Structure 1
Amino acid sequence: MSTLIDIGQDAARHRVAIDLEELLATRLLVQGNSGSGKSHLLRRLLEECAGQVQQVVIDPEGDFVTLADAFGHVVIDGAAYSAREIEALAARVRQHRASVVLALDELEVEQQIRCAALFLTALFDAPREHWYPALVVVDEAQMFAPAAAGEMSDETRRLTLAAMTNLMCRGRKRGLAGIVATQRLAKLAKNVAAEASNFLMGRTFLDIDMQRAADLLGMDRRQAERIRDLQRGQFLGLGPAISRKPVAVHVGPVKTGGRGGGSALLPLPEADGEQMEALLTDRLAEAASDPAVKRYQPPARPAVDLDAALPPAPPLPAAPPATEAEVESEAPTVRPSAPAPPPSPAPSGTVESVVRDLALSEGATFRPATSLFRDFAIRCRQQGIASAHVDLARFRRVFACETGGLARLEGADRARIEAIIAGVEDDVLAPYLALAVAEVLGEPMPDEEELGRLYGSASPSRIRRLLDHLERCGLVVVREEFGGERVIAVPGVIGPETTGAASKAA
């Protein structure tokens, strides 16, 4: 079986081929501006060697999923699996030598990067008996191996750079041959670009990119101007798997197509202005309310009337029994002569009611505990309520119970939760209680915004660290999915497993 695959013709219409066995050992770097034909080149290469070698495609735009129809590639939707499932899938891909396309187009950018990094790392970490030869194609590689820190978190950047560096630097011994395509060499990490021995350089216009491409091709500055004049689908190739000296390649046709929009001009619709306006605004409110036309949004917590929904506040666990008597003795003249009305859901004139009112005040959870405690003491004095038995530590715990929603539980459910929270730290008690109460009541888990309010922080990264801390302590079990969902379970709490809101950064 020949290892030469035809990718196109040179200026003299002679066949230009790539030595597949040499490519597996020396890797390939493709560069070209948007519209220069990089995806077309990658598709031609994949089609020509389909059936000869295993192929793994990291596809951030979903362009290569059409390979499944013609060549039997398995499409893995990154948004449909959790992080651990993605890693397990990668291990099975290596074990069974399956050609796959990891489609990431349904994910946010940082989730795309994390998903691809975990998948590549799992490919790299496969056991030795599964080190079969495979082409690993990474389109838009500047996303996964950026030269400079961008908007992604430091953790994500370290994860993806390590995965891409392992692929290009150490992947050969494990049978992995990296093929990376980027719009700009200046945006691609040098450690990743430097490990490729074969190059296909398409059209680019910036001087810095032309100069780097010319240096890789062994061309002088004057010859570098050729790179600016290349047409769509034309590339300059060099490397042991292509040619020992630079050769111009016009990429041949492909059998499959991408899912992107066409670039050719099409006739505009003939509707006049009023007709077009009617098409745009007809039943617009109904379309806007249809969730099918919206991107995924975290499930919102149901609106609750707190005054009506909260049951009477529980008595403080260690409150002296004389507290209510003292209150009654201080206000004997207000006792009605007629039978007393039913108790109000939010009783007034007690320590519990003061704490509840304070917890419901705007921005209370973002205030320091000492400031809240001073406010609590002042309100108690204003209402004539004895509060000397409540110190700062006790106040923090009662306040966390109020904000976390413990009062919404009754009977055995409440007793079980009280036993669980006995050893929970005060500073994480409120968000943990909210999760536990939602588990018991079968409600959607609080989203990041709600957990941040309870925790007193507007930082998403702090909320992620909070959940990591709770999981390390064995208080919750968190399963994150790349589709934007987070499943949280609270061990020891009887109730259905509920799905939490999406996390915008992992």
Structure 2
Amino acid sequence: MTVEIDMGTTRAGATAPLDLEELLATRLLVQGNSGSGKSHLLRRLLEQSAKWVQQCVIDPEGDFVTLVDQFGHVVVEADRSETELTRIAGRVRQHRVSAVLSLEGLDTEAQMRAAAAFLGGLFDAEREFWYPMLVVVDEAQLFAPAAAGEVSDDARKLSLGAMTNLMCRGRKRGLAGVIATQRLAKLAKNVAAEASNFLMGRTFLDIDMARAGDLLGMDRRATEMFRDLARGQFVALGPALARRPLPVIIGPVETSARSTSPRLMPLPEAARGEEAADLIFTPGADEDLRVPPRRPAQPAPRPTADILAQLSAPVPQPQRETLFPEIDEAERDALIAAVLSEILEDPEASYRSVAVLYQDFLVRCRIRRVPGAPPDLSEFKRRFSVARAGIDSQTAQSETWQKALGLANELSEDVQGVFLLLARAAVDGLPCPSDASLARAYGSHSAGRARRLLTYFEERDLLVLRDDFSGRRIAAFPDLACETAAGDPNAPADTPGRDAAE
């Protein structure tokens, strides 16, 4: 048997029927801005179908409780525990009683939890009670939001899961979802996509008009009509309504909502001057004079810079007692110097990359149990350059050598070792290193590159080169007031640290 209910008229004056049995199988989505007549449409649908099918209304504002007197709905106040609401919903299905779940007076999160519990009770009813039921959800974007809002994730997941079950899996359990929303963009897509029937009302935002046009199969230009729809006018499409987009005008209703749209009315004849002030500032005879408790003042928010500074501050570590006595810095430096000497004993060490040498250095420090944090890469380069120069402990403490280190710090790290090798020869009065020795200190086999480095140092006025009568090279350091002995530039490379060891 086909049951059609009258939703109103078309623009041509014909009746706009809705196939109720088809609606139970294909579900309905209603969309329209505030004031477009969504609640009026839902009320018309509920009134026309009340004698044919069991109904349940999820009512956020308590507008549909007026169905009680004329159509026998039972109002379920939502200020109960979630377990109690679930059990009541099960009894609603068992006894086939139409009900209105009134969520009025609850905050948003409490409304979502109550609606999820009630819908869950309807969905989880025993199979023998799977009678056809029309489940109408007003303001569906509250219960199936497209994005996370100010409510907790737990409440949002519960509510969204219940709405998804209603629209995706409810048909086999006899539940036919009818959801109404102000904005399609705020409604979860997986919930809206399950509806096959649509009633699209007035809307103004491009994103909502585009989504409504996609659902109705309309091109972008045709969606402009949604701006021109009057209150109570909707465009219908779906197997239960029309095979092509059909503008309909929703018919009148028998009941009315408790809350109505505001209407202009003349102001009362109010007293003026002192009389008006007395009316406002003088309490009435039946007025509660108790002072409502004030909320405690909220502390001023901390600046973001202070929070970041606190998070980045080092956490003080408790002092731990060690089983072994701490090694002083002098002994630690001696161990590090010994590790560097071991590395320099390898003839190929000077030709390896700094990264390889540093990894070898870290491993050797662990083997020798060097206490404390190992030197970083920059400190390692400096220490390795000094060790490669072969400076003894006495010379390292001299004022001249400290000045040489200061000059080396002005150079790039890759040439500091070459400069210190020359400076060490000058401080100790040793022969000027050969090109091969300088190239080795630079990590290269090219004697020409070593000579270019000497030219670079001379151009920066760090040293002055001259030859004696035998053609041997002497390097003088004006800032250090010393010079090297004459040395053969073509001699083979010396073993690093050999002179210092001797």
- TM-score scaled to structure 1, two decimals? 0.56
Q: Give 1:41 deviation, angstroms.
A: 0.2
Task: Note if contact 2:2-2:21 (Cα within 8 Å) is conserved in structure 1.
Answer: no
Moved more, 273-282 or 136-145: 273-282
**Percent sequence identity over matched residues?**
65
- One-letter amino acid of the structure 2 residue matched with residue 43 of structure 1: R
The code of the aligned residue for 1:9 comes to: T
* 1:183 maps to 2:199: no
Matched, 1:159 2:158: yes
In structure 1, C-alpha distance between the alignment counterparts of 2:128 and 2:278, rounded to whole Å: 63
1:459-474 equivalence runs, <5 A: none
Q: Would you say 1:60 and 2:60 are equivalent positions?
A: yes
Q: Deviations over 1:432-485 (max 9, x none)?
A: xxxxxxxxxxxxxxxxxxxxxxxxxxxxxxxxxxxxxxxxxxxxxxxxxxxxxx
Mapping of 1:463-502 within 5 angstroms? none
Please state how far the C-alpha of 1:25 moved relative to its aligned partner.
Answer: 0.1
Helix, strand or coil at the partner of 1:273: coil
Whether 1:117 aligns to 2:125 is no
Hey, what does 1:86 align to over in structure 2?
85
d(CA) in 1 for partners of 2:279 and 2:263? 24
Secondary structure of the corresponding residue to residue 258 of structure 1: coil
What is the correspondence of 1:13-24 to structure 2 with a 5 Å cutoff? Answer: 13-24=13-24
- Cα shift at 1:142: 0.2
Alpha-carbon distance between aligned partners in 2 of 1:211 and 1:130, rounded to the nearest angstrom: 40
Q: How does 1:214-253 map to 2 (within 5 A)?
A: 214-253=213-252
Letter in 1 for 2:261: G
- CA-CA distance at 1:109 after TM superposition: 1.4
The residue aligned with 1:95 is: 94
Alpha carbons 2:8, 2:251 under 8 Å: kept: yes
Task: Name the aligned partner's letter for residue 18 of structure 2.
Answer: I
Q: Which moved more, 1:274-283 or 1:124-133?
A: 274-283
Q: Which has the higher contact order (CA 8 A, sep 6+)?
A: 1
**Which residue identity does 1:180 align to in structure 2?**
I
- The letter for the 2-side match of 1:208 is I
Q: Deviations over 1:383-440 (max 9, x none)?
A: xxxxxxxxxxxxxxxxxxxxxxxxxxxxxxxxxxxxxxxxxxxxxxxxxxxxxxxxxx
**TM-score, normalisation: structure 2:** 0.57
User: Where does 1:38-437 land on structure 2 (aligned, <5 Å)?
Assistant: 38-79=38-79, 81-274=80-273, 275-283=275-283, 287=287, 289=289
Superposed CA RMSD in Å reads 2.2
Once residues 118 and 52 of structure 2 are traced to their aligned partners in structure 1, the CA distance between those partners, rounded to angstroms, is: 23
**Partner SS, residue 93 of structure 1:** helix
- Aligned-partner Cα distance in 1 for 2:127–2:204: 44
- 1:163 alignment partner AA: A
Q: For the residues of structure 2 that align with 1:99 and 1:156, how far apart are their CA atoms?
A: 26
Q: Deviations over 1:274-320 (max 9, x none)?
A: 444433333179735469xx8xx99xxxxxxxxxxxxxxxxxxxxxx
Residue of structure 2 equivalent to 1:26: 26
Structure 2, gaps ≥5 residues long: 295-502
CA distance in 2: counterparts of 1:117 and 1:139, whole angstroms = 14
| Aligned residue in 2 for 1:5 | 5
Amino acid at match of 1:146: P
Q: Which amino acid aligns with 1:86?
A: L
Aligned position for 1:327: none
Number of corresponding residues? 295
Gaps of 5+ in 1: 299-506
Question: Which shows bigger deviation, 260-269 or 88-97?
Answer: 260-269
CA–CA distance in 2 between the matches of 1:228 and 1:62?
29
